[in-house]
């Protein structure tokens, strides 16, 4: 029974990871021309620059997702990724559910 439960848990986690990856891959437009060339966030304007693919840590495991980078038109500001803002990622890489789980685990071991 223990083997069955471990195998089933691993399988369900992988299925969850693949579903989350599929959803995340469909949040942003696939082609650059489908994304806005300029956007405004809390006042300043940003221009679309490029995509890169860092991983996002989820409750089901890491998922690699292409994210668009927008650079500020005003010097001195940081670039931003609208996908991170829309998903509410913590520290730009972890989903809220994973961050809550890590935080809960850390407080229980203090």
pLDDT given for residue 100 in this prediction: 78
Higher pLDDT, 97 or 1: 1
Condensed to tens digits (0 to 9), the pLDDT of residues 56-75 reads: 888 899 999 888 899 999 99
DSSP result, 10-54: HHHHHHHHHHHHHHHHTTS-SSGGGS-SEEESSS-EEEEEEEE--
How much is the average pLDDT of 47-58? 86
pTM of the model: 0.72
Contact 48, 85 (CB under 8 A): no
pLDDT given for residue 106 in this prediction: 61
Max Cα distance, the chain (Å):
61
Task: Give the residue among 78, 71, 83 at the shortest CA–CA distance from 47.
Answer: 71
pLDDT given for residue 62 in this prediction: 92
**Structural domain boundaries of the chain?**
2-108
């Amino acid at each position: 029974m223990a083997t069955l439960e471990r195998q089933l848990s691993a399988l369900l986690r992988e299925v969850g990871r693949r579903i989350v990856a599929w959803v995340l891959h469909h949040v942003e437009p696939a082609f650059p021309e489908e994304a806005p060339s300029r956007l405004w966030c809390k006042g300043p304007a940003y221009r679309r620059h490029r995509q890169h693919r860092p991983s996002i840590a989820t409750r089901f495991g890491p998922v690699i997702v292409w994210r668009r980078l927008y650079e500020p038109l005003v010097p001195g500001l940081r670039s931003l990724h609208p996908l991170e803002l829309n998903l509410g990622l913590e520290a730009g890489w972890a989903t809220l559910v994973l961050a809550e789980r890590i935080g809960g685990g850390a407080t229980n071991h203090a």
